[in-house]
């Protein structure tokens, strides 16, 4: 078991085949003492929606700003 001081949570988003996705998830699950899966989700393809829908574009922009504001708040207040 690893110490709390030696751990970090991080997020990586990448696109791959379903076969590789299953392989990677099985590999991570094979290390329950070392890897805690906090969240897992398959993301929908929103490229066409983003290209053609101004409402969705605004939602993405607003979400990015809120995400940055949240991180800024955490960094200032998480002591």
Q: CA 76, 11, 38, 36: dihedral to nearest 10 degrees?
A: -110
15-29 tens-digit pLDDT: 999 999 999 999 999
pTM: 0.70
Give kind and range of the element (H or E) at residue 22. helix 18-29
Task: Give CA–CA dist 65/57, Å, rounded.
Answer: 13
Residues 6+ apart with CB under 8 A from 60: 50
Reported as a single tens digit per residue, the pLDDT across 4-60 is: 778 888 999 999 999 999 999 999 999 999 999 999 999 999 999 999 999 999 999
């Amino acid at each position: 078991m690893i110490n709390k001081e030696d751990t970090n949570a991080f997020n990586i988003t990448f696109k791959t085949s379903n076969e590789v996705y299953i392989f990677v998830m099985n590999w991570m699950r094979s290390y329950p003492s070392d890897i805690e899966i906090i969240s897992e989700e398959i993301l929908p393809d929103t490229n066409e929606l983003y290209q053609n829908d101004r409402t969705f574009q605004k939602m993405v922009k607003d979400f990015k700003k809120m995400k940055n504001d949240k991180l800024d708040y955490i960094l200032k207040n998480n002591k």
